[in-house]
Amino acid sequence: MNVNQSIPPVPPFGQPQPVYPGYHQSSYSGQSGSTAPAIPYGAYNGPVPGYQQTPPQGISRAPPSSGAPPASTAQAACGQVAYGQFGQGDVQNGPSSAVQMQRLPGSQPFGSTLAPVGSQPAVLQPYGPPPTSAQVTAQLAGMQISSAVVPAPPSSGLGYGPPTSLASASGSFPNSGLYGSYPQGQASPVSQAQGHPGIQTPQRSAPSQASSFTPPASGGPRLPSMTGPLLPGQGFGGPSVSQPNHVSSPPPQALPPGTQMTGPLGPPPPMHSLQQPGYQPQQNGSFGSARGPQPNYGSPYPAAPTFGSQPGPPQPLPPKRLDPDAIPSPIQVIEDDRNNRGTEPFVTGVRGQVPPLVTTNFLVKDQGNASPRYIRCTSYNIPCTSDMAKQAQVPLAAVIKPLATLPPDEASPYVVDHGESGPLRCNRCKAYMCPFMQFIEGGRRFQCCFCSCINDVPPQYFQHLDHTGKRVDAYDRPELSLGSYEFLATVDYCKVREGKWLLSFPSPFFFPSPPAFIFMIDVSYNAIRTGLVRLLCEELKSLLDFLPREGGAEESAIRVGFVTYNKVLHFYNVKSSLAQPQMMVVSDVADMFVPLLDGFLVNVNESRAVITSLLDQIPEMFADTRETETVFVPVIQAGMEALKAAECAGKLFLFHTSLPIAEAPGKLKNRDDRKLINTDKEKTLFQPQTGAYQTLAKECVAQGCCIDLFLFPNQYVDVATLSVVPQLTGGSVYKYACFQVENDQERFLSDLRRDVQKVVGFDAVMRVRTSTGIRAVDFFGAFYMSNTTDVELAGLDGDKTVTVEFKHDDRLNEESGALLQCALLYTSCAGQRRLRIHNLALNCCTQLADLYRNCETDTLINYMAKFAYRGVLNSPVKAVRDTLITQCAQILACYRKNCASPSSAGQLILPECMKLLPVYLNCVLKSDVLQPGAEVTTDDRAYVRQLVTSMDVAETNVFFYPRLLPLTKSPIESTTEPTAVRASEERLSNGDIYLLENGLNLFLWVGASVQQGVVQSLFSVSSFSQITSGLSVLPVLDNPLSKKVRGLIDSLRAQRSRYMKLIVVKQEDKLEMLFKHFLVEDKSLSGGASYVDFLCHMHKEIRQLLS
Amino acid sequence: MATYLEFIQQNEERDGVRFSWNVWPSSRLEATRMVVPLACLFTPLKERPDLPPVQYEPVLCSRPTCKACNVDVPALIELFPSFQFPPAYGGISEVNQPAELMPQFSTIEYMIQRGAQSPLIFLYVVDTCLEEDDLQALKESLQMSLSLLPPDALVGLITFGRMVQVHELSCEGISKSYVFRGTKDLTAKQIQDMLGLTKPAMPMQQARPAQPQEHPFVSSRFLQPVHKIDMNLTDLLGELQRDPWPVTQGKRPLRSTGVALSIAVGLLEGTFPNTGARIMLFTGGPPTQGPGMVVGDELKIPIRSWHDIEKDNARFMKKATKHYEMLANRTAANGHCIDIYACALDQTGLLEMKCCANLTGGYMVMGDSFNTSLFKQTFQRIFTKDFNGDFRMAFGATLDVKTSRELKIAGAIGPCVSLNVKGPCVSENELGVGGTSQWKICGLDLTSTLGIYFEVVNQHNAPIPQGGRGAIQFVTHYQHSSTQRRIRVTTIARNWADAQTQLRHIEAAFDQEAAAVLMARLGVFRAESEEGPDVLRWLDRQLIRLCQKFGQYNKEDPASFRLSDSFSLYPQFMFHLRRSPFLQVFNNSPDESSYYRHHFARQDLTQSLIMIQPILYSYSFHGPPEPVLLDSSSILADRILLMDTFFQIVIYLGETIAQWRKAGYQDMPEYENFKHLLQAPLDDAQEILQARFPMPRYINTEHGGSQARFLLSKVNPSQTHNNLYAWGQETGAPILTDDVSLQVFMDHLKKLAVSSAC
């Protein structure tokens, strides 16, 4: 059993309770084994070899593409229609002309500053060293941007209209080194050299060199060659420059930008030049110091200056485009953090320590503060006063995942049993004993660290203090030395005691009985027809053996029950003494009740024969059903009533297919109306249709009845309404649109297994206490609140997260810092009542700089996304987006104003900790909820909205900025996960294969000119054209590549809480549109800004605020 | 016909008819002076082994307004002068005379070939809030009954407790049931929707082919032929558990009888309207929730008594009664009947539910437990067969009464409901259920008897010619248990007589037994709606008037009072009737009263008389068994008494006999005759028990036994603690009662009859 393994020896106390950990992984998710490896990212820039190979693709493409130049003005070169439109066309278009054209600009710089350009890829690393830690100033000169516009002409020539394209183009350049895309365009020689079917040798050669990073050399020679092509290109590119919305400041003059650039650049360039030669680009990864980002910045600059300087030369307009590689790269930040912080365990003993990024694989040692796996804060240094907080506009929030699953090598919280007296608490604020409590008077009393109240220590708890004032037994007691631990709750916590405890307990039981799972299966025509019912029943037979159990319990204490329904409900009596199951039909859906008591909820082992018989028969019984109508509210009501009758908490698993239109409470009508989008009424699409669902949810919460909803819609089912109950009861919603057994079986079963097996706390109440000065004011997540302080959760699992926002209500003290204590009272799956406590100490500051130095952008984004997603319920989407942008601008402006060293107004300076804020925020703004594309259904939006509401930081991170992994760039033997590339089309090389995942979706993108061998070994077909587009399973082939890719897919899936269905996308295929939706750095079809454009826009906003 | 007695008997044998008057007073005025109305007890299905059913359809009088069946044509032609032979009779010859034309066939049964035959339907409605052994016994009885049903009969099962479950019988592998909340009343439509009996008539659904095919299936999901689901149902019954919902101390189990019945009714209504069907309700306690609840679930609040009812303290009674009446009427409208088998020590709400059985012709059986032979055998007896191998039950009957024009129909009393058919022969004065010439009797057996009351409307000044005859025709359409539709036609003719000139004839033709029963029915009918004392007063007044009219006496001289033979027993019947549980509620629970009245209103004359005046037989060494007076003086030490009250069979051993038996004489060979003496009443009792439905309570007691009270409460208290010593002799047993004895009663009667004051 994994269970056992999960016990790491770390702490000194009794034995850790194995409780949750291993469980789910066991049996079911056959992947248990694989999970481990998933993480190993190591710092790798693996790309090196990759590059060289990649370029070839470009080549191959070029020709064909050029042939068919659909793009209007665009050059035929763009070849790829898709690309072309996106404006990136450059990348490939590159084939020759376009790319080069762009290059030119870039290239010119080479000459001068060049080093950077060519080196860029390489550059990154070199910079690393110089890192000026605190504030990296990213400068995007608005000027530049504008300038970029100017240069547009060339770009326009490309036909890719928007400036973006230009930018990207230029960006691509440098990248080329790193990424395949680039090289294609130019690097002919090299590429060829590398074994690419050299097609257009001449042109390439030059570029290739560039890629090879022999900047100086290349610089010279190339120019000419480049120009050649360029010219034509430009010719094409009409001046037409469609500017992205955001591009703000047009005024900039080429020169100024240049200057600005230089300013910041100043330092870095030298570095570059120096190092570049020495380093090879590829090594970047490994070398990169913590400050990876800086290098980036550096690079752009160089480019800029060059432009400035060489404007005259070849192409006068050399785009002053913002170099994409010059702007902060999420990938780089992640890689750097991984390299710098992934090796050492994160020890929580120090107050206000910023933990490693969520993307970094690190070990946590609990020494008094809760692990970041439980709590992450937007800032670990809180302004002392509300004035400061207001000025900074940085939201103060904590993302709490109270029952988070820990990796096997970290100990789960110790369970402390204080016997009948129960846990020791502060008399005034009721905070629980924790390491921050101060013992005084020789240990006879303690002062509450939250409210300063002085309490007596009960005699049985008394212990002497040592000379430092610490209790002698501090290290023997988890509650005095750890950040997270559990108390066994006493009887007092099991019943309602009005007014006595601050926490109110909805549980009406004296001692809770073990919880129950009720499976409620839609057996209407749709469910039968798709084969869902048969599949589900088959699966349940074995799945029931894996219900969550407590610690080392031999069998699960959880009882199960079964209900099927269409427009009436069928309950089943599966009492062990029966020879065959009994079905009881309740048609009175208007007034639901539970028709039986005894025999509905049973122990799986005792009633196995009857249950099996039942599950065998359900699909048969309804095989000929013609009933298409379903009900919904009565189903949940029935489940809740059943739990009430059995006097226990529990979980309902609801498998539902259609809009509940049958005559019953909660009847819905189809109100999907896309015309509402972008109107003031758009919010109604997110609101439930009737209040019946909320009312029901409230009752469910009171009963401790959590609902997990599996939806299998063929059409609109009004997710916004149906998900209300799961949402308010702490449950999950899964949606499988157009479910078909053949295609979706694996995904559904995998989700189901995981969902059924995961450890759940029932009938929970969470309360967050803080030290005087701040206060929890707002909560986001899947739960219900009947007052302003207690978060009530009918059920809470290891994936659910509650985000809490704090506000000042007084002054904080720099010395004592700010403390958080999150107490969760819940019923374990064995029916034990427990309290889980997480403590976290934060620093307080009087200098804004300290605040900005200790922020965590990922958490910030998590909060902002949730805030915005809740906002759409009440405000027009546009208003919500504007609010986000404004807040972001204010945060950055405040920094610029108060913390950054004086510099030109045209310079964009971002705090080191927040340099990714714009790119991430842009992703949030472009997300389906806030800016839906035409293909996004109302249901999808509602679905995503509620998903995000309870996501943790890691999930939101990847959800908003998907990971794009090149598969064929690193050597096949390499066992580590490949380093991601930025989510932009220009990073794709058509000779490569990529995986893209965002936690919900998984795409395998196949470039059009991938080597045959690769195609053969992955898909078992002989050519690219034979690959089935939309394929969801890779054939199991016995070759290293296939194994590796499938292994990688498995490990990615293992990292996510939901099974990601694979979709194979071929370049230039219809499906590619879907895929491109996830390339979040690019301009989106629905109008979302590209990263560069947004950054410009942000800069403009900031400048406005500053002036 | 030698005597009227023989004539009456013969008529009863042949036609199942007993008239109160066999010669009819010819004018309205005279008829009213006769006190006892012109009425008859009619047993529609009187068992007639000798009567061969006729295979063709009845011929009707061609006059559209008449439609009398042409039975006993000679009489008819005489009586209905306008009778026109339909053309079909053109070729009738003396040799080939149809049965209707032969005088001895005053009753003829026709079998109708038309129309689809639908199988009989038995729907069991079973209470599961029973004690374990009770439920077990009931389950066994039900399982047994399956083997007694005709193989093609449809059966259904509904169980109830806190919830009501309608069991689907056709499923393999899983037993399926529809469950209803026991607290919510549902309309028939809702029930049918919820059971999926209505076709999903949703317009929005696109054409779904093959729907019609499905229909017969749907309707029979809950009602399946016995032969098909015999095993299934046996298993299902076997697995029936007691209602699983916990009953806390001090509470009654929650029993949803009202809803269960409502669902049963709704189910049949939706699937098999106008088809013979029995809903058989087995209940072990009062309904405690939902519509039709009779008492709350708090044990400390007892179920209503007569006392509460008088004080208007029975809070649920009215509402419940209304609920069950509504159900009963719906059931009757659909031609189904409801049986109630209530077995419990306490009351079960029969008072409220009685109409279900009363109006639909269903049975009502009351016992202490399902685990008694009383219930088991009674239940079994329902399925006994007649000499033809047919069940002794029939369904969905309509009784159509036609009269010659001097008569009108005043009403009927019995297990029937009015069909509200007004016609020229319907009187405006109602006696019993009136205002109609047709009644529906949803369930009847071979002894079901209706009292039918008439009114003579002939005016005094329009005398009927000498020798004129009045005629009445009863036409009963019914579904025979073999599922055939049949029509039985009985035509009766009686002579008219002028009461002024021929009072003797009329007097002699008085059937005092029939009259007593008919009057009793009227009295009981009244008692349902009026205060007990009023009814008694009314009965008394009628009796006095009758005595005044037909007694021979000198004014103000009670001693001179005499009654002729044909009236002599009548006052005695009235005396016992006054003391009977039909009119006296003292010492009876409301349920018991309802139960007794139910049976009184449906049994034939013989049984009714036994109910009014129980029969007492005496067994002694002095001679062969003989009937003795129902009087305390008959209770002697050396006698064994056997009393049959219809509801109870009591064997009572006199003091001496009891001592002998105690001493064990019966076991000694030399006293074998004593053994025989002891055995004789037992054998006779067995004989009665065998024949009686419902099974009587069988009581074997002896002098001084507690159960002797059954006997003591019935006999005429000629000796009481008041007069015992005055009489001074040691015959019979004194009864501790304040009731008046027959002697006192008669004395008063005479006094009043001869008094000119009233």
Q: Does ipTM come in above 0.85?
A: no
- Suggest the residue from A584, A591, A661 to mutate for an interface test with chain B (most B CBs closer than 10 A): A584
A677–B contact, CB cutoff 8 A: no
Query: Does B70 share its domain with B133?
Result: no
Q: pLDDT tens digits for B515-571? A: 999 999 999 999 988 888 899 999 999 999 999 999 999 988 888 999 998 999 999
Query: Does B368 share its domain with B421?
Result: no
The Cα–Cα gap between A767 and A544 comes to: 33
Measured at the CA of A67, the angle between CA A63 and CA A71, to 5 degrees, comes to: 115
The Cα–Cα gap between A413 and A297 comes to: 43
From chain A, the residues in CB contact with B194 under 8 A are: 568, 587-588
Q: If contacts are CB pairs under 8 Å, which of residues 204-243 in chain B contact chain A?
A: 205, 208, 235, 239
- Over residues A393-416, mean pLDDT: 92
- The radius of gyration of chain A's CA atoms, rounded to the nearest angstrom, is 30
The Cα–Cα gap between A310 and B398 comes to: 115
The Cα–Cα gap between A105 and A108 comes to: 5
Distance from CA of A176 to the nearest CA of B (A): 60
**Residue A81, burial from CB neighbour count under 10 angstroms (0-12, 13-18, 19+):** middle
The Cα–Cα gap between B604 and B479 comes to: 21
Question: Helix B532-550 crosses helix B512-529 at what angle (to 10 degrees)?
Answer: 150
Q: What is the pLDDT of residue B115?
A: 65
- Over residues A395-400, mean pLDDT: 95
- Residue with the bigger pLDDT between A189 and A474: it is A474
Distance from CA of A557 to the nearest CA of B (A): 23
Q: What is the pLDDT of residue B66?
A: 58
Give which of B342, B328, B370, B261 is closest to B594, Cα–Cα.
B342
Q: What is the pLDDT of residue B100?
A: 56
- Residue with the bigger pLDDT between B755 and B52: it is B755
Measured at the CA of A120, the angle between CA A115 and CA A121, to 5 degrees, comes to: 135
Answer whether residue A569 shows pLDDT above 80.
yes
Distance from CA of B233 to the nearest CA of A (A): 14
CB pair distance less than 8 Å for A595 and B165: yes
Per-residue pLDDT band at B595 (split at 50, 70, 90): very high
Measured at the CA of A714, the angle between CA A709 and CA A716, to 5 degrees, comes to: 75
> How many CA atoms within 13 Å lie on the side-chain side of B341?
28
Beta strand A438-440 pairing with A445-447: antiparallel
Q: Name the E strands within B271-392.
A: 277-283, 336-343, 364-367
Tokens encoding B681: 């009443």
Q: What is residue A666's DSSP assignment? A: T
In CATH terms, the fold of domain A856-960+1087-1106 is Four Helix Bundle (Hemerythrin (Met), subunit A) (1.20.120)
Query: Does B410 share its domain with B288?
Result: no
Q: pLDDT tens digits for A921-961? A: 999 999 989 988 878 899 999 999 999 999 999 999 999 99
The Cα–Cα gap between B558 and B544 comes to: 13
Answer whether residue A301 shows pLDDT above 50.
no
- Suggest the residue from A586, A613, A658 to mutate for an interface test with chain B (most B CBs closer than 10 A): A586
Per-residue pLDDT band at A105 (split at 50, 70, 90): very low
From chain B, the residues in CB contact with A585 under 8 A are: 168, 176-179
Tokens encoding A518: 């009720």
Q: What is the pLDDT of residue A386?
A: 92
CB pair distance less than 8 Å for A582 and B175: yes
Q: What is the pLDDT of residue A160?
A: 37
From chain B, the residues in CB contact with A614 under 8 A are: 174
Q: If contacts are CB pairs under 8 Å, which of residues 592-621 in chain A contact chain B?
A: 593, 595-599, 613-614, 617, 620-621
Q: What is the pLDDT of residue A540?
A: 94
Lowest mean pLDDT among A263-267, B451-455, B724-728: A263-267
* Residues in CB range of B46: below 8 A, 6 or more apart: B12, B15, B16, B107, B446
Tokens encoding B105: 């066939």
Q: What is the pLDDT of residue A104?
A: 37
Please count the residue pairs, one from chain A and one from chain B, whose beta carbons lie less than 8 angstroms apart.
72
Q: What is the pLDDT of residue A53?
A: 40
CB pair distance less than 8 Å for A582 and B177: yes
* Residues in CB range of A866: below 8 A, 6 or more apart: A780, A781, A803, A948, A949
A588–B contact, CB cutoff 8 A: yes
Distance from CA of B265 to the nearest CA of A (A): 17
CB pair distance less than 8 Å for A588 and B193: no
Lowest mean pLDDT among A260-264, A854-858, B651-655: A260-264
3-class secondary structure, B284: coil
Q: pLDDT tens digits for B464-492? A: 777 788 889 899 999 888 888 888 888 88
Query: Is residue A743 within 8 Å of residue A1062, measured between CB atoms?
Result: no
Q: What is residue A61's DSSP assignment? A: H
Query: Is residue A730 within 8 Å of residue A800, measured between CB atoms?
Result: yes
Rounded alpha-carbon distances, angstroms, from residue B296 to A873, B304, B350, B366, B741: 49, 11, 16, 21, 42
From chain A, the residues in CB contact with B209 under 8 A are: none
- Suggest the residue from B179, B190, B198, B206 to mutate for an interface test with chain A (most A CBs closer than 10 A): B179
Q: If contacts are CB pairs under 8 Å, which of residues 552-581 in chain A contact chain B?
A: 568, 571, 578-581
Query: Does B664 share its domain with B628?
Result: yes
The Cα–Cα gap between A837 and A825 comes to: 9
Query: Does B435 share its domain with B377?
Result: no
Lowest mean pLDDT among A717-726, A851-860, B84-93: B84-93
Q: What is the pLDDT of residue B103?
A: 56
Q: What is the pLDDT of residue A373?
A: 94
Q: What is residue B430's DSSP assignment? A: -
B702 is a domain residue: yes
Compare all CA atoms of chain A with the CA of B209 and give the residue at the minimum distance. Answer: A626
- Residue with the bigger pLDDT between A326 and B134: it is B134
Per-residue pLDDT band at B65 (split at 50, 70, 90): low
CB pair distance less than 8 Å for A580 and B175: yes
Last residue of a domain, one of B443, B477, B499: B499
Q: If contacts are CB pairs under 8 Å, which of residues 143-172 in chain B contact chain A?
A: 163, 165, 168, 171
Q: pLDDT tens digits for B183-241? A: 988 888 888 888 887 654 444 334 444 333 334 444 568 888 888 888 889 988 998 88
From chain A, the residues in CB contact with B175 under 8 A are: 580-583
Range of the domain at B648: 591-738
**Residue A973, burial from CB neighbour count under 10 angstroms (0-12, 13-18, 19+):** exposed
Q: How many CB atoms lie within 10 A of CB A1074?
A: 16
Closest partner residue to B173 among A568, A580, A586, by Cβ?
Answer: A580
Upstream peptide bond of A300 is cis (omega within 30 degrees of 0): no
Q: What is the pLDDT of residue A903?
A: 79
The Cα–Cα gap between B751 and B737 comes to: 24
Closest partner residue to A617 among B163, B174, B200, by Cβ?
Answer: B174
- Suggest the residue from A523, A526, A596, A661 to mutate for an interface test with chain B (most B CBs closer than 10 A): A596
B248–A contact, CB cutoff 8 A: no
B556 is a domain residue: no
Per-residue pLDDT band at B758 (split at 50, 70, 90): low
Q: What is the pLDDT of residue B463?
A: 77
CB pair distance less than 8 Å for A598 and B244: yes
From chain B, the residues in CB contact with A664 under 8 A are: none
Query: Does B312 share its domain with B165?
Result: yes
- Over residues A624-652, mean pLDDT: 91
3-class secondary structure, A1022: coil
- Residue with the bigger pLDDT between B447 and A284: it is B447
Per-residue pLDDT band at A487 (split at 50, 70, 90): very high
The Cα–Cα gap between A34 and A345 comes to: 22
Cα of A115 vs its chain's centroid, Å: 36
B603 is a domain residue: yes
Distance from CA of A515 to the nearest CA of B (A): 20
Per-residue pLDDT band at A78 (split at 50, 70, 90): very low
Last residue of a domain, one of B459, B477, B499: B499
Q: pLDDT tens digits for A198-255? A: 334 333 333 333 333 333 333 333 333 333 333 333 333 333 333 333 433 333 333 3
**Domain over A962-1079 is classified CATH 1.10.10.60:** no
Q: What is the pLDDT of residue B102?
A: 56
Compare all CA atoms of chain A with the CA of B171 and give the residue at the minimum distance. Answer: A621
Q: pLDDT tens digits for A589-606? A: 888 888 888 889 999 999
Q: pLDDT tens digits for B613-670? A: 999 999 998 888 999 999 888 888 889 999 999 999 999 999 999 999 999 999 999 9
Instruction: Round the average pLDDT of chain A to a whole number and report it.
Output: 74
Last residue of a domain, one of B382, B411, B429: B382
Tokens encoding B306: 């007569």
Tokens encoding A1033: 């399973």
CB pair distance less than 8 Å for B174 and A587: no
Q: What is the pLDDT of residue B733?
A: 72
Distance from CA of B42 to the nearest CA of A (A): 46
Total number of domains constituting chain B: 3
CB pair distance less than 8 Å for B176 and A585: yes
The Cα–Cα gap between A602 and A573 comes to: 9
Query: Does B162 share its domain with B242?
Result: yes
From chain B, the residues in CB contact with A661 under 8 A are: none
Answer whether residue B686 shows pLDDT above 80.
yes
Give the amino acid at A939. Answer: D
- Over residues B75-97, mean pLDDT: 48
CATH code for the domain of B141: 3.40.50.410
Tokens encoding B54: 């006729």
Domain boundaries, chain A: 424-483, 513-758, 856-960+1087-1106, 962-1079
A1032–B contact, CB cutoff 8 A: no
Instruction: Round the average pLDDT of chain B to a whole number and report it.
Output: 85
CATH code for the domain of B605: 3.40.20.10
Q: Give the CATH number of domain A424-483.
A: 2.30.30.380
B175–A contact, CB cutoff 8 A: yes
Q: What is the pLDDT of residue B530?
A: 87
B11 is a domain residue: no
Give which of B451, B441, B403 is closest to B425, Cα–Cα.
B403
Query: Is residue B615 within 8 Å of residue B375, measured between CB atoms?
Result: no
The Cα–Cα gap between B530 and B536 comes to: 10
Beta strand A1061-1066 pairing with A1001-1006: parallel
Identity of the highest mean pLDDT range in A76-90, A346-360, B217-231: A346-360
Give which of A539, A559, A540 is closest to A548, Cα–Cα.
A559
**Domain over A513-758 is classified CATH 2.40.50.220:** no
Q: What is the pLDDT of residue B587?
A: 84
Question: Helix B672-691 crosses helix B655-663 at what angle (to 10 degrees)?
Answer: 110
A663–B contact, CB cutoff 8 A: no
Tokens encoding A615: 């599950």
Answer whether residue A977 shows pLDDT above 90.
no
